[in-house]
Amino acid sequence: MKKKNTAALIVHTKGLEALHRYFAKYRENYMTKKMKDDTLRKLFCWSPPAVMSDFTITSRSEAAGSIDGFCIVATFLPEMLLNRHEEVISKIEAALIESEKRGAAVASLAAFTSIADGRQGEIVSRVAKSMAVTNGSTFTSAMAIEGIRKMCRILDIDIGAANMAIIGATGSIGRTCSRYFMGKTARLTLTGRKFEKLEKLFGGYPEQYSNLFLTDDNNGAVADADLVISVTSSIQSIFKSDAFKSGAVICDVGFPKNIAQACNDRDDIIVYSGGLARIPGDIEHLDVMGLPANNICYGCMSEGILLALTERLDLCTVGLDDIPLRNVDLLTDMGYEHGFDVAPYFNDYKYYCAEDFDRVKRAREALASSACV
Ligand SMILES: NC(=O)c1ccc[n+]([C@@H]2O[C@H](COP(=O)([O-])OP(=O)(O)OC[C@H]3O[C@@H](n4cnc5c(N)ncnc54)[C@H](OP(=O)(O)O)[C@@H]3O)[C@@H](O)[C@H]2O)c1
């Protein structure tokens, strides 16, 4: 069989804690004698890009076979985006150059590696000579949308009668999810940091969709939402657990997380890590990226694997243009065909199970009946 494309997944760490966890894998008792944070920060940021794991992924479709790939770490920390921006860009470019040298045909820019250049990977991808580069927003959006649809089936929520809020709607993934759900919910509230930007992007829609609301007030937007997709690039949590109404479902797509760490005191809502896929194979060390199993992967990373497997490098996307919704549908279908699926629902604390779903269903019923009294 012809050798398939190799996929490079350009990743970064959530922070120093994740790096400590990685070292602990290789040195017993490391956690009791950790490297000092300052020393680790310096060493890490001086380091060139490093391959974290090599992998082979086999499609469920026998005819499609397997691809090889590797995860390569761009050695910056998320907070460096605030004051060491140029350095972050060089780090991402170095990881792309190294990936091409190692024979990758396609590179997926994961999380902040696609955001950092302000052009969704268009600028950093210029260092690639013949390697295709994709920003992962299409498949991440696909998995966020599918995750919400599937959750609504589990909880018997009628999307058409639900209020939805999309937080960070001006971004690449947020905009795609917003366009997808327009006209499909009872009310759709979209937020961004700047109202003018929201108006520029969505101001033309309200006449057509009278249930569309734009605001820069994140808390106001979620207060009455049944369904929330939070997909901002904020480097810290932006919601407290009391922001959400009882029975709400919150899909937290952000990396680092927008919400999950703050909500473990609420068992009447579901806050899960969204935009993720279960992939048809394992990649070592995904736990250091906050993932609970080696076959659960961020949508952005999964996109590179899927496009390499299907040899559809023509579907790679960088830049700020709207992502065609037909590509979201296409990648969703291609994903299912090759053994990719929405990841199980989990957050930093647990996997959600049938008991949790029942409890949230009851919370929703209680709220509905109190509203009728
Ligand atoms: N789960 C996954 O598989 C996965 C995959 C890829 C990416 N991600 C993560 O998803 C997030 C978004 O990615 P993206 O590519 O869509 O980024 P993006 O295009 O840069 O969009 C991020 C958006 O968040 C908005 N934002 C930032 N802080 C905000 C706040 N406090 N309140 C409201 N909006 C705020 C920004 O608004 P402005 O317009 O004002 O800048 C921007 O529009 C990132 O955290 C990324 O790491 C997750």
The string of pLDDT tens digits covering residues 30-73 is 999 899 999 999 999 999 999 999 999 999 998 889 999 999 99
Q: Which of 193, 300, 345 to mutate to test the pocket of ligand 1 (most atoms within 8 A of CB)?
A: 193
Instruction: Classify the phi-psi angles of 106: left when phi > 0, otherwise alpha if psi is within -120 to 50, otherwise beta.
Output: beta
Q: Does any ligand 1 atom lie closer than 6 A to the CB of residue 114?
A: yes
Over its C-alpha atoms, the chain yields an Rg (Å, rounded) of 20
Same structural domain for residues 116 and 151? no
Considering the domain architecture, whether residues 117 and 254 belong to the same structural domain is answered as: no
For residue 251, give the CATH number of its domain: 3.40.50.720
pTM comes to 0.95
73 alpha carbon – ligand 1 mean position (Å)? 20
Residue 364 lies in a domain: yes
- Whether residue 222 is contained in a domain is answered as yes
Q: Which of 81, 88, 231, 300 to mutate for ligand 1's pocket (most ligand atoms within 8 Å of CB)? A: 231
238 close to ligand 1 (CB < 6 Angstrom): yes
User: Residue 51 and residue 62: Cα distance in Å, rounded?
Assistant: 29
Q: Which residue has the tokens 């029942």?
A: 358
Both 63 and 175 in one domain: the answer is: no
Centre of ligand 1 to C-alpha 133, Å, is: 19
| Residue 56 and residue 72 in one domain | yes
Ligand 1 centre distance from Cα of residue 156 (Å): 29
What single letter denotes the amino acid at residue 314?
D
pLDDT for res 209: 76
| CA atoms of 120 and 136, how far apart (whole Å) | 9
- On whether both 111 and 189 belong to a single domain, the answer is no
pLDDT (tens digit, 9 = 90+) per residue, 209-256? 779 999 999 999 999 999 999 999 998 889 989 999 999 999 999 988
Residue 302 Cα: closest atom of ligand 1? 3
The boundaries of the domain holding residue 37 are 7-138+277-342
Residues 297 and 366 placed together within one structural domain of the fold: no
161, burial (CB in 10 Å: exposed 0-12, middle 13-18, buried 19+):
exposed
Q: How many domains does the chain have?
A: 2
Distance 130 CA to ligand 1 centre (A): 28
